[in-house]
Structure 1
Amino acid sequence: MEVGAMETTVLVTGATSGLGLAMAAALAEAGARVAVSGRSGERAREVAAGLPGAFGVELDVRDERSVSRAVEQAWSRLGRIDLLVNNAGLGMRTVNPRFMTEPRGFWEVPVEGFRQVVETNLTGYFLVAREVTPRMLAAGGGRIVNIAVSEATMSRAGFVPYGPSRAGSESLSRVMAADLRGTGVTVNLLLPGGATVTGMLPDAPAGHRFLEPEVMGPPIVWLASPAAAAVHDERIVAAEFEQWLRERVRRGTAPE
């Protein structure tokens, strides 16, 4: 699938590894011009060098000034940003490296670790979208895709602060969609549909297989394409994307 005859421009946050890199690669290979962002500008440039038509941008989503500089740089080089993919995030390993085998009660979580995860996974989504949205509105439209996780993660024992941060970012996305309804700027949620090999999880136990990050490729390319122009306030599970798309076609809400 290609993103369309007109060159689509994309900013992906947290795009130097894991889900972000998989989505940036899929979009670039489909013909989009992609700004690959990460906290390390050097790493972002190295990754972008391996993708067709991509370039690297230093972006710390927790820092308002960094966000402002990065969005300005990306918009200037791309001429516009058609699609923002809010993906940058920190996982449970940052506060408890053994969270899968030795979960901690919320009262044992370091305060600073809690703040860092929430500032990245929730405040970061807000700051980047806040910077990009007025530009999209002035340009007459745009698309925002916020990366989410399974609902079980939001209530699982030992998952503070990751679970609450992702629940907050999902709620933020729904409110963003409500605020932007009818404006020409669409907002959707995309999640893998299971534990994924991203570096945030320990190795899979014997007999268990994690999803590969590439599962995010087909849905994010579709969400950047003309076929998704009217898609708004949807929660799309990447592992079930083909089935979801077939159902849309069956209902007559999507072109074949």
Structure 2
Amino acid sequence: MSDASLKGRAIIITGGGRGLGRAMAEALIDAGADLMLTGAREADELEATRLALAGRDGGRCLAMLADVGDAAACDAVAAATEAAFGRIDVLFNNAARSGSSVHPGEGYPDHARFWEVDVDAYRDLVLTNFVGPFMMTRAVAPGMVARGFGRIINISTSRPTMLFAPGGPYGPAKAGLEASSRIWARQLEGSGVTVNVLLPGGAADTALIPGPGVGTRAAPWNPAEGPFVEGLHTGLLPPEVMVAPALWLASDLSDGVNGQRFVGRNWDPARPWAEAAAVARAATIDVPHII
């Protein structure tokens, strides 16, 4: 992966303390990037991740406790990153709340109905998963446009999950984020700033999936056997499915790629970069069909 060097590139990863965010952060800092990690609730976990990454042979790593659902916090993250690194080159909108958070109990009730979910939790999920990426992107986009370079990478979910009823607003929020991504990509066309979507391709072994043993539950998976149908997988995917496409999207290798959607599960690191990207690129749906 030496040809995806990110030496000196300034990158923000929201929700960077664990799960997909930490997996991507480890690879990005090893490639030389300077990182600002954010988290909303687990200060100890975020600091532990920062210390672990700062000790690696790569770029610098900072961390801020900040809720992407708070516009002032988003502005503060952007300002702190620019103060520390001189600019912001890449934003990974990765922070998210689980669909299970809208239910009073644990997990996903088999027969959960929308009028029975917790209203405040529903609002918080939409604020984090849908409005939060907008506010973070709003905070960094003007500087990127002024410098003529930037990468916005929005972390999404499989299309079947967008209609997973027990998940409450999780799927619809991600569907809205993908629609927003396409609009932002169009509005930024020609500015040097690109907007793309990256998703695992199925449920991943992170804390967003209820249950014990987080980090030990991933099932065997071989990207060379793909491409796979989104969401169809017997078991959980390892967070590392995001690593190679995240490196590519953050690097100069993805110059000119804008308004596209990439499935991590279908990215085969054994293939050349361009070939792997072509296989992992999801077909564009030009005319939306919700119902």
Query: TM-score, normalising length from structure 1?
Result: 0.90
Percent identity for Structure 1 against Structure 2: 38
How far, CA to CA, are the matches of 2:62 and 2:32 in structure 1?
14
Any idea what the Cα deviations from partners look like across 1:121-144, whole Å, max 9, x if unmatched?
Answer: 000000000000001011111100
SS of residue paired to 1:11:
strand
1:118 is matched with which residue?
126
2:87 is matched with which residue?
80
Task: Tell me, yes or no, if structure 1 residue 10 matches structure 2 residue 11.
Answer: yes
Deviation at 1:158, TM superposition (A): 1.9
Q: Structure 1 residues 138 and 206 mapped into 2: Cα distance closer, same or farther (>3 Å)? A: closer
1:254 is matched with which residue?
none
2:286 is matched with which residue?
none
User: Any unmatched runs of 5+ in structure 2?
Assistant: 212-216, 221-233, 280-291
2:259 is matched with which residue?
233
1:95 is matched with which residue?
102
2:29 is matched with which residue?
28
- Residue identity opposite 2:175 in structure 1: A
Q: 1:38-187 residue pairs with structure 2 within 5 A?
A: 38-40=39-41, 41=43, 43-51=45-53, 52=56, 53-96=60-103, 97-187=105-195
- Residue identity opposite 1:246 in structure 2: E
- Residue identity opposite 1:220 in structure 2: A
How far, CA to CA, are the matches of 1:42 and 1:73 in structure 2?
20
Deviation at 1:205, TM superposition (A): 11
Give 4+ residue runs of structure 1 displaced > 6 Å after superposition: 204-207
Any idea what the Cα deviations from partners look like across 1:223-249, whole Å, max 9, x if unmatched?
Answer: 112211211111000010237942667
Deviation at 1:59, TM superposition (A): 1.7
How far, CA to CA, are the matches of 2:278 and 2:158 in structure 1?
25
Any idea what the Cα deviations from partners look like across 1:80-121, whole Å, max 9, x if unmatched?
Answer: 111100000001121125444534111111211110000000
How far, CA to CA, are the matches of 2:197 and 2:149 in structure 1?
18
Count of residues in correspondence between the two structures: 250
- Residue identity opposite 1:80 in structure 2: R
- Kept in 1, the 8 Å contact 2:201–2:263? The answer is yes
Any idea what the Cα deviations from partners look like across 1:182-237, whole Å, max 9, x if unmatched?
Answer: 11100000000111011111346999421011111111011112211211111000
Q: Which has the higher contact order (CA 8 A, sep 6+)?
A: 1
- CA RMSD, Structure 1 to Structure 2 (Å): 2.3
Deviation at 1:174, TM superposition (A): 1.0
SS of residue paired to 1:50:
helix
How far, CA to CA, are the matches of 2:19 and 2:236 in structure 1?
13
Any idea what the Cα deviations from partners look like across 1:52-71, whole Å, max 9, x if unmatched?
Answer: 32111222101111111111
How far, CA to CA, are the matches of 1:237 and 1:195 in structure 2?
12
Residues 38-47 or 116-125, more deviating: 38-47
- Residue identity opposite 1:17 in structure 2: R
User: Any unmatched runs of 5+ in structure 1?
Assistant: 251-256
- Kept in 1, the 8 Å contact 2:102–2:168? The answer is no
2:226 is matched with which residue?
none
- Residue identity opposite 1:110 in structure 2: D
